[in-house]
Structure 1
Amino acid sequence: MPVLPRHALPSAPIGAAIGLFGGSFDPAHEGHVHVTQHALRRLQLDQIWWLVSPQNPLKRSGPAPLDTRLGQARSLMRHPRVQVTPIEAQLGTRYTADTLRALLRLYPRRRFVWIMGADNLAGFHRWDNWRVIMESLPIAVVARPGQQLAALSSVAARRYMHARLPQRAAPLLSKARAPAWCFLTGPMRDISSSGLRAKGVWQGADNQYPDGTGI
């Protein structure tokens, strides 16, 4: 792991409850913002860090350049308790399990919660070392339109059904000992990065929308 100056990494006080929301964000959109705000409120977190990944190992084609995605995400997600970070590129990690291992070592005495959409839980068993992730820190799964059945019947959900907490316990999730996870329902936004790319709404390589205006 590269040796990084402390000022180059996100800051968080001792004892802080921090949500980690990872993905390509190619592009970031209002659905990501909605999930973030929902998680801040329901989980009673002190901060959420967006982990904008250099590359998603499960996707064949590469995303837009990292600097482009970071700039667009920061222009969209403006909240005093949310930090948009390139921390995986800084740490030199490729897989989530390795990123979490590094963060837990770098930030002792903080309480991390992994945040993901229900669509990610449905395919979670295909992630590298997914059991290590599940047993490293609590996980909050946020409902996505049309994904609840697939998520709750997934390999990961069935394997760790004994560790599922009821929604009313969501504020306590950051204090729970892993494995522990909670499925959060509520208002949903039917929007996805892949859908925006398919419609031509995002041209990340040029940092432009189709009408030519910069992000």
Structure 2
Amino acid sequence: MKIGLFFGSFNPIHMGHLIIANTMATSTDLEQVWFVVSPQNPFKKSNTLLHEFDRFDLVSRAIDDNPILKASDVEFRMPKPSFTIDTLVRIQEKYPQHEFRLIMGEDNLAQLPKWKNYEKILEYVGIYVYPRPNSRPHEFKNHPAIQFVEAPLLDISATYIRQQVQAGKSIRYVVPEAVEQLIRLKKFYL
């Protein structure tokens, strides 16, 4: 099976993430997309992150009714911060029967040369890229290991969602109903 790996903090997961994942799973040769919940991104501060198990639970609830989307906690048992290449090696060892592709936004391509062993990522799995507004120029436009995929974009940020929750405002239609219910029930981001 060919599987797309969509890494992120998902703090919280929102409709933009879900649209991209579903588009990748239904408009490409991918058969599934796995949300790889990252305990700590090496490029982000962790002071606003919910605990990884809570974020994993939010992702699981968001995709519960879609069999082509899965949640992965593979990085929870790895050293922090997690580096994509290390996770890719771990996933491939754990699931040798599958073929994997990394999914990322075009805005991250300009940063790719800063990633640990980025050449190995390109060689090892290849990347499916969705467009992002205001993406900086990058050197990867015609790279053979990179496939660009058109996907509808919603300009939603997890920061905006957290701010709305803190202000006591609605996040309806920005996150799935099950995610909103859990955020309210557990008083996340307050």
TM range (shorter): 0.7 to 0.9
Matched residue of 1:20: which SS? strand
Paired-residue identity, % = 31
Q: Where do 5+ consecutive residues of structure 1 fail to align?
A: 1-15, 165-179
Is it true that 1:195 corresponds to 2:160 in the alignment? yes
For residues 5 and 147 of structure 2, what CA distance do their matches in structure 1 show? 15
- 8 Å CA contact 1:118–1:147 kept in 2: the answer is no
Q: State the 1:23 CA deviation.
A: 0.8
Question: Shift of the alpha carbon at 1:198?
Answer: 4.0
Q: Aligned residue for 2:6?
A: 21
User: 1:140 and 2:143 equivalent?
Assistant: no
Q: Using the alignment, how far apart are the partners of 2:131 and 2:68 within structure 1?
A: 22
- Contact conserved, 2:20 with 2:152, CA < 8 A, in 1? no
| TM-score (norm. length: structure 1) | 0.70
Measure, in 1, the Cα distance between the counterparts of 2:16 and 2:167. Answer: 15
Task: Give 1:83-94 correspondences, 5 Å limit.
Answer: 83-92=70-79, 94=82
Give unmatched runs, 5+ long, in structure 2. 169-178
Query: What whole-Å deviation, never above 9, does each CA across 1:192-213 have from its counterpart, x for those lacking one?
Result: 223323444699xxxx96xx83
Root-mean-square deviation (Å): 2.5
- Structure 2 counterpart of 1:52: 37
1:105-116 equivalences in 2 (<5 Å): 105-116=93-104
Give the conservation status (yes or no) of the 8 Å contact 2:20–2:151: no
Q: Secondary structure at the match of 1:135?
A: helix
Letter in 2 for 1:117: G
User: Which residue of structure 1 aligns with residue 115 of structure 2?
Assistant: 127
The alpha-carbon distance between structure 1 residues 201 and 112, as it changes in their structure 2 partners (threshold 3 A), is: farther
Q: 2:56 aligns with which of 59, 70, 73?
A: 70
Q: Secondary structure at the match of 2:71?
A: strand
Deviations 1:51-78 (A, max 9, x none): 1011111112341101111111111123
**TM-score normalised over the length of structure 2:** 0.79
Measured in 2, the distance between the counterparts of 1:195 and 1:125 equals 29
Q: Once the 2 structures are TM-superposed, how far is the Cα of residue 125 of structure 1 from its aligned partner?
A: 2.2
